[in-house]
Amino acid sequence: MVYIIRKADQTIKTFQTRDDDTFLDPGEVIEPSPLSFSEYAERLVLSLDGRSGETVIVPAEVKELTVHVSCPGEQSVDLLINGTPETVSLTKGIGSIILSADAPGLFIIKPADQTKYCPAGQATLYIEVQ
Amino acid sequence: MAYPSSSTVSSGQPTAASQYNNLRKDALYLGQSYNDSLLLGNFFAKFASGFKLILYSVSRLKLVIDTKNPPTIVINGCLLQMNSNVVTGSGLIAGAAAIYYIFAVQTPGSVGFTMVPSTSASETDNTRLIGECYWDGSTIRDIVCYFPENVIPEPDYDSGYFACTTGTTYAKAHGLLNHPRLVLLFHTTNTTGYDERELVTVVTNAAGVEMSPVGITDTYVYVQTGAAGAGTCVNAIRRQSATGYYRILAWL
């Protein structure tokens, strides 16, 4: 069982293993899901070189980055790359994004529909090109 | 009340009923009235001391022997002590992932005890629950000893894992009715909790300045992540992250 905290605007703030210790801000609601904590987290995972849930730092000379997208059961998923929408096609729930890393900067990739996917956890990926 | 209640008798002196009863009272209640004192055996029925459980191999546990403070326990009213290492048997912790409960087992004819794991937490007449561990299917993890000696006790509040991200305040009701004296915030990158855990002491705010994210009241532990940047959830030399998972542990 996992417990989802939904904000007043219906976007998902977080998900957690307990339901009895959370102070809800005005308009927030807590809802249970029959999935386990891991199963819920794995609904959308973005990773680079197997790393997710952390800021991945890469040197600018790498030039091209392949971000791995895992979204089991879906044929596509809408993401925001530094705020720009992009739809990623999936095969058996797996897809990828190619990013150009010519210049130093920060890539922030997160789910576009945050009422469906929680941006916390492993569904948002930060890549810092140095 | 004076202790002991009984007194010495001389050779050949008949033992009076009062002397016998005082002696019995000394033995059972340390000389006190039965209204004021538990039976000595009942008082020590749940006694245990000197226990330290460690990993012996990936699937076996060992009870460490400290000769100055050996593992001592009362099981089924018997006073038991071990002066040599105790190890769980081979192949007893195996199969699918599960929590295993560790029992000390009293055997008639022995003043020591053995140690047996079980997926059931139920004690029987000749067993006492002394700890637990998590078997992930290949390795023992998270060993907990219920009678620890000189180790950090279990936390009074454990939030469990929850997902975190940039620019968010998480308010967790710890239920301790007082300010916890010690609060630790850990960060992980996946949901198993068994990757490297970073102790979160600072995060970065929008200006890139490092700040502590934790606030503590007598009701809540607050964790407020930074507003923008790559280290808003943890900013450590070994890991920066603006997402991932937190877990809060607190002690009164």
Residues A1 and A48 in one domain: no
Structural domain including A112 reads 43-130
> How far apart are the CA of A22 and the nearest CA of chain B, in angstroms?
5
In a domain, B27, yes or no: yes
pLDDT at B42: 95
pLDDT at B14: 82
- Within an 8 Å CB–CB cutoff, is residue B165 touching chain A? yes
**Domain at B104, CATH number:** 2.80.20.10
Q: Which two tokens stand for residue B124?
A: 């029987």
A50-81 pLDDT, tens digit per residue, is: 999 999 999 988 789 999 999 999 999 999 99
Q: Are B118 and B100 in contact (CB under 8 A)?
A: yes
Q: How many domains does chain A have?
A: 2
For chain A positions 37-56, those within 8 Å of chain B (CB to CB) are 37-38, 41-42, 51-55
Residues B21 and B107 in one domain: no
Structural domain including B191 reads 157-251
Q: How many domains does chain B have?
A: 3
Question: Rounded distance, CA B226 to CA A65, Å?
Answer: 26
| ipTM of this complex | 0.87
List CB contacts (< 8 A) between B157 and chain A: 21
Question: Rounded distance, CA A106 to CA A85, Å?
Answer: 16
Write out residues in chain B with pLDDT < 70, as ranges. Answer: 1, 149-151, 193
Q: Are A3 and A17 in contact (CB under 8 A)?
A: yes
pLDDT at A108: 95
Residues A47 and A37 in one domain: no
B-chain residue closest to A42, CA distance:
B191
B81-139 pLDDT, tens digit per residue, is: 999 989 999 999 999 999 999 999 999 999 999 999 999 999 999 999 999 999 999 99
**Domain at A71, CATH number:** 2.60.40.1930
pLDDT at B1: 66
List CB contacts (< 8 A) between B239 and chain A: 54-55
Task: Identify the domain boundary among B145, B173, B202.
Answer: B145
**Domain at B221, CATH number:** 2.60.40.10
* Cβ distance of B243 and A17 shorter than 8 Å: no
Question: Rounded distance, CA B68 to CA B79, Å?
Answer: 17
B40: three-class secondary structure by DSSP: helix
Q: Which has the closest alpha carbon to A22: B221, B233, B184?
A: B221
H, E, C per residue of A42-69: CCCEEEECCECCCEEEECHHHEEEEEEE
Substitution target from B165, B218, B223 for chain A, most A beta carbons within 10 A: B165
| Amino acid sitting at position A50 | G
* Cβ distance of B220 and A119 shorter than 8 Å: no
Residues A88 and A73 in one domain: yes
* Cβ distance of A124 and B165 shorter than 8 Å: yes
Residues A9 and A49 in one domain: no
Residues A36 and A4 in one domain: yes
Q: Are B240 and A130 in contact (CB under 8 A)?
A: no
| Amino acid sitting at position B236 | A
In a domain, B173, yes or no: yes
B143-153 pLDDT, tens digit per residue, is: 889 887 666 77
Residues B62 and B130 in one domain: yes
Q: Which has the closest alpha carbon to B75: B128, B30, B35?
A: B128
pLDDT at B16: 84
In a domain, B151, yes or no: no
pLDDT at B7: 87
Residues A3 and A54 in one domain: no
